[in-house]
Structure 1
Amino acid sequence: MHIKVEKRTSSAAGASDKPKHLLEVELDDSATVDELKSAIHKHAKKLYPDRQRLTTADKAVLKPGESLSKYDIGDGAVVFLKDLGPQIGWQTVFYIEYIGPIIFHYFIYNFSELIYGQTVEHSAVQRYAYILIMGHFIKRELETAFVHRFSNGTMPLFNVFKNSGHYHILSGLNLAYWLYSPATANGTLLAAKLDDPLMLSLYIGIFLFAEISNLITHITLRNLRPPGTRVRRIPTGYGFNLVSFPNYFFEIVAWTALTCMTRSLAALLFLVVATLQMYLWAVKKHKQYKCEFPDYPKSRKALLPFIL
């Protein structure tokens, strides 16, 4: 069958988009969306599959892995293409995001004389906070390499700067600079010095519990999707029977414990911003779950058990 591929372009007067013919491809009657994208890429090298967003005349998005017949696309049909621009793999994005805080915390903690003009004798809180934060982001890098399976292969290249800025600046540079400063070490900055060993142990214990729990939920999500597929299923088990995204919930618990332990405004800022972002993600994805799965548990909350 022959399929026409067109691109919508805005008119100068700002009216509705006008289609512009790009090319025509020939495929088998049983062809899939992936085969159509590959055929387009063959004719237009710049438009590799991850850079293409294909829709029908009624704006239904063609999903990878689906048959074209599912969308009533046959001989002579017209498909509309949007160029999503340069893309970058999600796994690479995660590597870039998490390496920033690792670098900032390592250098600011270990080379205090270059940063503050003096050698800092770190307090117990600073030492433990450094270990916990480094462990957190190293864990995230290892999960990226060995645990996560991504439903989407890529994202727009430009977005990596926005995503990385959140981690590199808020949980990296800003947090590390204030957390390891001489004023924080001697307790004159925001009363950050915690002298009670019992409370210190409590916060460390909560942080480690949340980190381990977060890892368990990530492994659960990994096991839902067979390798090389985009399969989506209802997650169940540890944490998931209470909320749709226990991985976000345990992340919030971990950073709340670290914020209480350090009494750092920089840590509080990152916690507030991160919690707001995870709340927005959780609510959006929770609605998607409920729409996608008619039997999705009605009592399950999005982010906070029994509350939200």
Structure 2
Amino acid sequence: MAWYTGNETFDTWLAVGFGFAAFTLLGSLFAKSPYGRFASDKMGVNLNPKLGWWLMELPATVVFFWFYLQGARAFEVTPLALALVWTIHYGNRGWFFPLSLRVARNRSSTFSITVMLLGMFVTGLHGYLNATFFTQYAPHLTGAWLADPRFIGGLAVYLCGLFLTVRSEAIMRHLRDPNAAGQDYKIPYGGAFRYVSSPQYLGELTAWAGFALMTWGLPGVMIFLISAGNLVPRAFQSHRWYHERFPGYPSDRKAIIPFII
């Protein structure tokens, strides 16, 4: 992986992305991620989570395809294959997931507008860097790359992560009754919840690790680090929250990595 492309704009924004990854990790050590069960009015106006999630993820679709279609290699086979992976990922993360959320009547505003704006910055930057990288600054992404062990292995890891994420989120979604006005959190069971409290976060990190390997580029490493800086501390926070809220919570579950942590 080259650490720079020679294009000042691209390289500057890539450096900003790595800086934001460090900011995310350091910030998560001192504060809980202020959305969902950890929502706080201190971070500005809270939005309905369906709207907040959708707006936050929207740039990953719009920005990516805006820059992708301007790339010189947009219609070559390997960039098209990676664009398909991107479309599948953000078809789920940016459209299906937010619109399928079940929100209890007493928790209609749990997504901080500050989180939304920061998230829009990240997904927009993520979209720009990867779209441009695929179509302009990745000479290794030729047709032969589809047979490279890094692509094949990365794709396999990515698909495992995507399956784990989708399966875990489906379990979480069906725990909640959108018509309930009382307590709207329950202990999740089934799937990888047998082993960890936050398998959806493990799935997301696994998917981005596979994506970084599959693309063999620093934009993929950047989004993996940003995701890890956000999700790993949140997994530990959620693990503690479950134990505090539910006295009978399974004691053998780990926070995010089965049998380890």
Instruction: Answer whether TM exceeds 0.5 for this pair.
Output: yes
Identify the structure with bigger relative contact order (alpha carbons < 8 Å, sequence gap 6+): 2
Q: How many residues align?
A: 216
Aligned to 1:204: 155
Q: Please tell me whether residue 249 in structure 1 is matched to residue 205 in structure 2.
A: no
Instruction: Quickly say closer, same or farther: Cα 1:261–1:124, change in 2 above 3 A.
Output: farther
Aligned to 2:127: 172
Deviations 1:209-232 (A, max 9, x none): 321221111110111111233421
The runs of 5 or more residues in structure 2 that have no matched partner are 1-40
- After superposing the two structures, state which structure 1 stretch, 197-206 or 281-290, moved more: 197-206
- After superposing the two structures, state which structure 1 stretch, 94-103 or 143-152, moved more: 143-152
DSSP 3-state at the match of 2:194: coil
Instruction: Quickly say closer, same or farther: Cα 1:138–1:246, change in 2 above 3 A.
Output: same
Instruction: Quickly say closer, same or farther: Cα 1:260–1:124, change in 2 above 3 A.
Output: farther
DSSP 3-state at the match of 2:61: helix
Aligned to 2:38: none
* Preserved contact between residue 126 and residue 179 of structure 1 (Cα < 8 Å): yes
* Preserved contact between residue 218 and residue 247 of structure 1 (Cα < 8 Å): yes
Deviations 1:141-200 (A, max 9, x none): 11211244468422343442123222222x22223222332x31x229xx9x73535653
Partner Cα distance (2:79, 2:164) in 1: 24
Equivalent runs, 1:269-288 vs 2, <5 Å: 269-288=222-241
4+ runs of 1 displaced by more than 6 Å?
A: none
Q: Please tell me whether residue 145 in structure 1 is matched to residue 99 in structure 2.
A: yes
Aligned to 1:218: 169
Q: What percent identity do the matched residue pairs reach?
A: 18
> What is the one-letter code of the residue matched to 2:91?
I
Partner Cα distance (2:99, 2:236) in 1: 27
Aligned to 2:54: 95
The runs of 5 or more residues in structure 1 that have no matched partner are 1-81, 113-118
Q: As a proportion of its length, which structure holds more strand?
A: 1
Partner Cα distance (2:146, 2:176) in 1: 46
Q: Please tell me whether residue 104 in structure 1 is matched to residue 63 in structure 2.
A: yes
Partner Cα distance (1:153, 1:307) in 2: 35
Aligned to 1:194: 145
- After superposing the two structures, state which structure 1 stretch, 103-112 or 143-152, moved more: 143-152
Aligned to 1:27: none
Partner Cα distance (2:43, 2:96) in 1: 29
* Preserved contact between residue 126 and residue 180 of structure 1 (Cα < 8 Å): yes
DSSP 3-state at the match of 1:297: coil
Q: Please tell me whether residue 294 in structure 1 is matched to residue 247 in structure 2.
A: yes
Q: What is the RMSD computed on CA atoms of the aligned residues?
A: 2.7
Q: Please tell me whether residue 162 in structure 1 is matched to residue 112 in structure 2.
A: no
- 2:215 corresponds, among 239, 252, 262, to 262
* Preserved contact between residue 213 and residue 250 of structure 1 (Cα < 8 Å): yes
Partner Cα distance (2:213, 2:117) in 1: 30
Equivalent runs, 1:62-81 vs 2, <5 Å: none
Q: As a proportion of its length, which structure holds more helix?
A: 2
> What is the one-letter code of the residue matched to 2:227?
A
Partner Cα distance (2:77, 2:152) in 1: 11
> What is the one-letter code of the residue matched to 2:156?
G
Instruction: Quickly say closer, same or farther: Cα 1:121–1:231, change in 2 above 3 A.
Output: closer
Deviation at 1:294, TM superposition (A): 1.3
Q: Rg: which structure is higher? A: 1
